[in-house]
Amino acid sequence: MSYFIIPKTAEMINLRKAKIDADLEDAAKLKQKVEKTLEKYNQALKKASDEAKASLQKTKDEINLTIERKQADLTIELNRQIEEGEKKIATGKKKAMENVNNAVEILVPEVMKKLGFAKVSAEVIRNAVDFEEND
């Protein structure tokens, strides 16, 4: 027994121990490999996330810049339209006042005549009722 069974059993135990040790060593190497792969994956994920954030911020900045430009253009256009409208109003007002002055020059002598007053010259009437100077 000590020559045959015990050495065979010891050899079997040693073979199994060597196999288990080799398997444990392979498992440890595999674990390190998986951890390195996981670390690379996490780094790639962080990099992708950072790039996505940077891209979103860049897009947001571009959109804000476009909005600011459009608002500035719109403000310029609105100011131009306001100025143009004010000029049209001033022109219309001037024309209306000229018409009023012309009407006064025609109507006042007639009214004065009907009321029995002496004839008043157009220049006197114009100086007395000059609406343009009394804006």
Residues 73-122: tens digit of each pLDDT? 999 999 999 999 999 999 999 999 888 888 887 888 888 878 887 777 77
Question: Would you give the distance in Å from CA 7 to the centre of its chain?
Answer: 85
What are the residues whose beta carbons fall under 8 Å from the beta carbon of 101, sequence distance 6 or more?
126, 129, 130, 131, 132
- What is the chain's mean pLDDT, rounded? 89
Determine the length of the chain. 135
The pLDDT of residue 15 is above 80? yes
